[in-house]
Amino acid sequence: MEPDPVRAGGGKAVFLNNDDRSWSLPLRGAHNPSTGAEGTNPGSFAHAPDIGGPLSFSSPDTPGMPEPSTRTAWDFLPAGWQIEKSGPTAGCGGHNHPEIGEFIRCKTPEGFEPITQLESARLGIITPEMERVAERESHLTSQQVRDEIAAGRMIIPANREHLRHQLDPMAIGRASSTKINANMGASPVSSGTDEEVEKLKWSQRWGADTAMDLSTGGDLDACRLALIEESTVPIGTVPIYSMIIGRKIEDLDHQIILENIEHQAAQGVDYFTIHAGVRPWHIPLIEKRLIGIVSRGGALLAKWMIMHGEDNPMVTCFDQICEIMRRYDVSFSLGDGLRPGGLADASDEAQLGELETIAQLTEIAWTHGVQVMVEGPGHVPFDQIEYNMKLQRRLCHGAPFYVLGPLVTDIFPGYDHITSCIGATAAGYHGASMLCYVTPKEHLGLPKKDDVKQGCIAYKIAAHAADVALGIPGSRDQDDELTKARAALNWQKHFDLSFDPDTARALHDEDLDVDTDFCAMCGHDWCSVRISKEIQQFASGKADGFDRGASTRSAALTTEQQEILEKRGVLEPSEIHKLASKTRKTMEKEESKATCHSDLVDDHEAKRMQLEETELSDGIAK
């Protein structure tokens, strides 16, 4: 059959054949994120995976981006350690010392016993925590997890004390799936321990991979311990907050710093944000910023340095901090105390100068055998996100990057979970390993329970989108299953496969509480999905196991679904009550739209119901 003509300029008919395309796909060898290569999508446009190398899963570079570092944690060993050639069982691959051998391990001074995950990995040991991570990251083997940790490109934040409770080990690194963090914590103005524990459990319900206790009020010690004991995910803290409770910042000294860090490590905190990158010579670079220093830790330490005329005390006792953290296997989250608080201050000398210092601290921590991730900026114009991600990758030799947002605009307070998850998606695609959520309350107040849910969902979207774009194996599988259910107009399966089934079901039933071959957006005659399903030569809607069967009325709303509709305020309370209390008996008595439903409704009856609803709505409007 001849292809149909396409009218070009001047009215001349031209023909487009598949063999004469004017375009080509920029495929670079990345995995198809769909295990079964479902559908017609050709796969990811990202780089081919480089597990064991500096790129792992990575985006192609825009011209001018920094190249990855040629160094790794293997270049920053403790004194007296040596690298030796080994075999495939006891040795690590994925290193940057091919001159020694394909597989290497460390030789340590006599009598040394490994404590941290990094030390075990360097010795070729696969720990139970590494095995658990490989179970959770199905595209990685336990050997690959070990090798990434040994190279410093991955961490397992798992304090030995927290492992005695409910901690389920997880990994942060660009070879693994993108993670999200949820912040919580009581303030001097709002909340308390019980509410924060409830928010922790709620954040875990909505997909948080780690949680940070940022308490600055109430009983900090009790709140922190309660979160650790209740949490299945790693808990991080910013120790300086508890260091200054009951004292002025200028009274801070090495003894207070080390005692507090020891105490929190003994409680079971899995990672510490330490703002050691802020140095005296950075402070003049802040003077012309529109919004100065927005990090609490950064601002406190800057004030301390100005008042004392000395270097950052977190730097001058950094070696002792490392020694304490090593004893418990607490990971560093090297804090970005000079992160920009607005687009006008992004990518400036202060921010990037601090990053250079953080890179040096990363190297020092590795020489102590301590795991490290690096924290990144909060407000960055969209065009500068890739550069920020790839500069960190170079300076910090591939250490995992943990970023807040970044927010890509400043004029939407109340919606900053959206403005920031846009930037977070780009950050994940260009190299960030973990994304710190932002809630609708960002810049406005302490997040409440629903704010935690909204922040988590926004960031699960960002993390998942980045994983699919990078071609992480299997990352699109659930999307494909949901697409099959959607194509088959199998509403219940559609909802079951969604991240938030209650919201999806509630919003559907708000307009049409029958599962049939259309929804209230298009109606029966205009439903393109129904039409595609009916075209015999199309595969659409015909996947095995997805047939909806006969149309059926939906079940009564659950309590959660009822609350969702009440909060929206679209339906009258009486209408919500009817949807929440449906039974066969009441359905037969109702004269509202529900009266046309029976336990099974055929498509013709559902269409008639739709027409009645439309006429009723038009009458009310008139």
Instruction: Read off the amino acid at residue 171.
Output: A
Query: Do 591 and 617 belong together in one domain?
Result: yes
* Tokens of residue 202, six digits: 């709620």
Q: How would you write 84-126 as a 3-class SS string?
A: EECCCCCCECCCCCCCCCCCEEEECCCCCCCCCHHHHHHCCCC
Residue 77, Ramachandran bin (φ over 0: left; ψ between -120 and 50: alpha; else beta): beta
Question: Is the pLDDT assigned to residue 600 strictly greater than 60?
Answer: no
Q: What are phi and psi of 100, to 5 degrees?
A: -90, -40
Question: Is the pLDDT assigned to residue 192 strictly greater than 90?
Answer: no
Tell which residue, 508, 492, 484, has the closest CA to residue 39: 484
Q: Which domain-ending residue is among 470, 491, 522?
A: 470
- Has residue 31 been placed in a domain? no
Alpha-carbon gap, residue 596 to 581, rounded angstroms: 16
Tell which residue, 121, 162, 160, has the closest CA to residue 142: 121
> Can the peptide bond before residue 406 be classed as cis, meaning omega within 30 degrees of 0?
yes
Average pLDDT score over the chain: 91
Q: What is the pLDDT of residue 9?
A: 44
Q: Which helix (H) or strand (E) holds 236?
A: strand 235-237
Question: Is the pLDDT assigned to residue 595 strictly greater than 80?
Answer: no
Q: What are the residues facing 208 on neighbouring strands?
A: none
pLDDT-based confidence at residue 241 (cuts at 50, 70, 90)? very high
Neighbours of 539 (CB within 10 A): 13
Helical H segments across 309-397, by residue range = 313-316, 318-328, 349-367, 385-395
Q: Which helix (H) or strand (E) holds 487?
A: helix 477-487
Q: What is the pLDDT of residue 551?
A: 86
The per-residue pLDDT for range 512-555, each reduced to its tens digit, is 898 888 888 888 888 899 989 988 889 998 999 999 888 888 99
Q: What is the pLDDT of residue 22?
A: 85
Cβ-based neighbours of 159, under 8 Å, separated by 6 or more: 167, 234, 265, 268, 269, 270, 328, 329, 330
Question: What string of DSSP letters covers 9-65?
Answer: GGG-EE---GGG-S-----BBPPPSSTT--SS-----SBPPBTTSS-BS-PPPPTTP
Q: Which domain-ending residue is among 470, 501, 528?
A: 470
Query: Do 385 and 461 belong together in one domain?
Result: yes
Tokens 């114009």 belong to residue: 381
- Has residue 612 been placed in a domain? yes
Three-state DSSP state, 372: strand
Could you list the residue range(s) of the whole structural domain that residue 225 is in?
Answer: 73-470
Q: What is the pLDDT of residue 585?
A: 43
Alpha-carbon gap, residue 478 to 480, rounded angstroms: 5
The per-residue pLDDT for range 158-187, each reduced to its tens digit, is 999 999 999 999 999 999 999 999 999 887
Tell which residue, 487, 428, 431, has the closest CA to residue 459: 428
194-205 average pLDDT score: 94
Q: What angle do CA 422, 423, 429 make, to 5 degrees?
A: 100
Three-state DSSP state, 591: coil
Alpha-carbon gap, residue 31 to 472, rounded angstroms: 7
- Has residue 27 been placed in a domain? no
Query: Do 408 and 485 belong together in one domain?
Result: no
Query: Do 464 and 489 belong together in one domain?
Result: no
* CA 120 to mean position of chain CA atoms: 27
Alpha-carbon gap, residue 613 to 398, rounded angstroms: 58
Three-state DSSP state, 229: helix
Query: Do 547 and 465 belong together in one domain?
Result: no
Q: What are phi and psi of 155, to 5 degrees?
A: -130, 155
Query: Do 459 and 498 belong together in one domain?
Result: no
Q: What are the residues facing 235 on neighbouring strands?
A: 211
Specify the CATH number for the domain of residue 214: 3.20.20.540
Q: Report strand pairing: 104-107 vs 82-85.
A: antiparallel
- Has residue 57 been placed in a domain? no
Q: What are phi and psi of 10, to 5 degrees?
A: 80, 5
Q: Helix, strand, coil shares of the chain as percentages rounded to 5?
A: 45, 10, 45
495-516 average pLDDT score: 93
pLDDT-based confidence at residue 363 (cuts at 50, 70, 90)? very high
Q: Which helix (H) or strand (E) holds 267?
A: helix 254-267
Q: Say if CB 434 and CB 208 are below 8 A apart.
A: no
Alpha-carbon gap, residue 315 to 320, rounded angstroms: 10
Query: Do 111 and 81 belong together in one domain?
Result: yes
Q: What angle do CA 93, 50, 460 make, to 5 degrees?
A: 115
Question: Is the pLDDT assigned to residue 259 strictly greater than 60?
Answer: yes
153-158 average pLDDT score: 98
- Has residue 45 been placed in a domain? no
The per-residue pLDDT for range 415-456, each reduced to its tens digit, is 999 999 999 999 999 999 999 999 999 999 989 999 999 999
Structure letter (DSSP) for residue 275: -
Q: What is the pTM of this model?
A: 0.91
Question: Is the pLDDT assigned to residue 621 strictly greater than 70?
Answer: no
Choice among 366-380, 399-413, 498-512, 603-617 with the minimum mean pLDDT = 603-617
Neighbour-count burial for 487-511, b at 16+ CB within 10 Å, e otherwise: bbbbbebbbebbebbbbbbbbbbbe
- Has residue 25 been placed in a domain? no
Tell which residue, 501, 506, 491, has the closest CA to residue 601: 491
Query: Do 498 and 349 belong together in one domain?
Result: no
Q: Which domain-ending residue is among 416, 441, 470?
A: 470
Three-state DSSP state, 553: strand
Question: Is the pLDDT assigned to residue 383 strictly greater than 50?
Answer: yes
Question: What is the C-alpha radius of gyration for the chain, rounded to an integer number of angstroms?
Answer: 28
Query: Do 421 and 536 belong together in one domain?
Result: no
Query: Do 579 and 453 belong together in one domain?
Result: no
Question: Is the pLDDT assigned to residue 199 strictly greater than 80?
Answer: yes
* Tokens of residue 590, six digits: 């109702």
- Has residue 18 been placed in a domain? no
Cβ-based neighbours of 222, under 8 Å, separated by 6 or more: 193
* Tokens of residue 518, six digits: 């259309």
Alpha-carbon gap, residue 30 to 474, rounded angstroms: 13
pLDDT-based confidence at residue 619 (cuts at 50, 70, 90)? very low
Q: What is the pLDDT of residue 346?
A: 98
Query: Do 444 and 521 belong together in one domain?
Result: no
pLDDT-based confidence at residue 610 (cuts at 50, 70, 90)? low
pLDDT-based confidence at residue 280 (cuts at 50, 70, 90)? very high
Tell which residue, 273, 247, 290, 260, has the closest CA to residue 334: 273
* CA 286 to mean position of chain CA atoms: 30
Alpha-carbon gap, residue 551 to 599, rounded angstroms: 9
Q: Which helix (H) or strand (E) holds 561?
A: helix 559-568
Three-state DSSP state, 182: strand
Looking at the structure of the chain, the number of domains it has is 2
Q: Say if CB 171 and CB 147 are below 8 A apart.
A: no
Query: Do 127 and 161 belong together in one domain?
Result: yes
- Has residue 35 been placed in a domain? no
Q: Say if CB 438 and CB 423 are below 8 A apart.
A: no
* Tokens of residue 575, six digits: 């209408």
The per-residue pLDDT for range 130-140, each reduced to its tens digit, is 999 999 999 99
Tokens 């601290």 belong to residue: 361
